Structure 1
């Protein structure tokens, strides 16, 4: 296996953040094929409250990780299901602000929505990002009373690299390899539903383009800290497809027409079906990979998300 998880997480590739993936840069790229698209910035629902820049975990190296919380105004003793939203950017770029509009709209529909940062590959290698996000789920449970969270109904939602992380987080419920002994260790990091928006499910797969370093270093090669040719154990371990079991929660897949961005999805759905686990898939034909950030795809992405969560989180 090489380096231990702990030592790998302390080996940065660079001290400089990568700011190459932004909503603006994604818009300019997508407009080459879709000139009429616009950035999704819907009005914030009137019943939504928020608290921002909250520290949810400090790593052993002293790194304070932050998140933002968007939540409905609650009546006494009312509890809401919750969603952790994970941004994309090739495990190397992007930031949690990119999904604030989605978080606000989910909060307006009766969900506590949390957007959390995590350590990127310029700062720490795999599996640090997964460990960080599991700590964010534990934070949600530890602070459930303050934000009226129903701790039995927590979902994880991710886009692109965030979708891969969401799927891995959810398929490894209870797996000690991905949890850490710091930051609310007495609380569970398990989630009860997964929404993967164009995130890869299997790195070692005929549909996957990750690991092809022939023209430039792939995002996954940066994240794992070594090329696929040096050994595939970590690449397989980081694939949600590897971990599917009878305990995997229901999953929703929302996809563009770019097959490599959701490599392994169909195989994973077959596994889920064999265990009798519910899943859904929705695909936007001809949509760019970055579709959830833009109109006209934002609203249907939101609707698919809410419809799925309402189905699997039936009121009790």
Structure 2
């Protein structure tokens, strides 16, 4: 027996019980399907749409890495104008419970960031059914290195790179932010994978924090368990290792949290902020009232998310001496 499971209804973690021999099937995590789900309780919303602007250069589906199973691609959006000018850059990581979703979900935000003076890059990575943890993390670190390697071509300031993630993508972005050039993830001594700012849109920063455990599982199998190659009691090492909160220290970058009104997606956030405060590292937290998860894919919440993001990035990446 196979199960067809709605990703949105299960959020980031959940799946129905399955036997060890069966592979679950998940509904695609797309903007349109999310809209169809959310509009029942929020009839005033509309889904975000790709932006077409003469003020932006578009370079889509650029291959940044070839693996044995796929060619990984990214989309680059940059301000059109002075070709000799460089801009801060943002790598945008989509959500989807580590098992589904696509870079297309982050294209609209990347395009709007380009309108605001950034190079916005939405990126794909190997999902859990293609390759379990830590493959996706290594892919994303390679994407940061690709940005630095190709900085001149795409007018990127290699010293001002931020990482932004939504939902499961926010957890992945967190790992990038707090494990610069770590030996855990195949570091490259010639090109750094460090970032200078981190934007977390409604994603957990710990798999093992008490706030994450209450609703981390339904039945015998979780989406996190599939990605991390075993449930927490079976593979605690991976669950701890993949938790950004474990690595936060004096070298962590300034951080922005933009949260829904759903507490389970805040797991570990307050503890992370406490550590950042201890080291005098700048952080912001914004909770958008009465919002569901995936709010950033819908108007009018997209505008709020964009404004918080641009204001934070301007403060961190454009006001530095």
TM-score computed with the length of structure 2 as normaliser: 0.88
Q: Measure the CA separation in 2 of the matches of 1:150 and 1:16.
A: 42
Q: Measure the CA separation in 1 of the matches of 2:164 and 2:157.
A: 17
Aligned to 1:283: 287
TM-score computed with the length of structure 1 as normaliser: 0.90
Question: Tell me, which stretches of 5 or more residues in structure 1 are unaligned?
Answer: 1-12
SS at match of 1:204: coil
Aligned to 1:81: 88
Q: Considering only aligned residues, what root-mean-square deviation do their CA atoms show, in Å?
A: 2.0
Q: 2:154 aligns with which of 122, 147, 157?
A: 147
Q: Measure the CA separation in 2 of the matches of 1:280 and 1:72.
A: 27
Query: Contact 1:44–1:105 at 8 Å: present in 2 too?
Result: no
Deviation at 1:207, TM superposition (A): 1.4
Q: Does 1:120 align with 2:127?
A: yes
SS at match of 1:75: coil
Q: Does 1:29 align with 2:12?
A: no
Aligned to 2:231: 227
Q: Which residues in structure 2 correspond to 1:1-12 (within 5 Å)?
A: none
Q: 1:70 aligns with which of 57, 73, 77?
A: 77
Q: Measure the CA separation in 2 of the matches of 1:118 and 1:42.
A: 21
Aligned to 2:184: 177
CA deviations on 1:178-207 (whole Å, 9 max, x unpaired) are 2356xxx63111110000000111111221
Q: Measure the CA separation in 2 of the matches of 1:14 and 1:74.
A: 53
Change (3 A) 1:312 1:212: closer
Deviation at 1:136, TM superposition (A): 0.4
Query: Contact 1:83–1:114 at 8 Å: present in 2 too?
Result: yes
Aligned to 2:255: 251
Q: 1:160 aligns with which of 158, 162, 167?
A: 167
Q: Measure the CA separation in 1 of the matches of 2:156 and 2:108.
A: 20
Q: Measure the CA separation in 1 of the matches of 2:274 and 2:22.
A: 39
Aligned to 2:138: 131
Change (3 A) 1:16 1:46: farther
Deviation at 1:14, TM superposition (A): 9.2
Change (3 A) 1:44 1:17: farther
Query: Contact 1:17–1:93 at 8 Å: present in 2 too?
Result: no
Q: Does 1:268 align with 2:276?
A: no
Tell me how many residue pairs correspond in the alignment. Answer: 300
Deviation at 1:213, TM superposition (A): 3.7
Question: Tell me, which stretches of 5 or more residues in structure 2 are unaligned?
Answer: 1-20
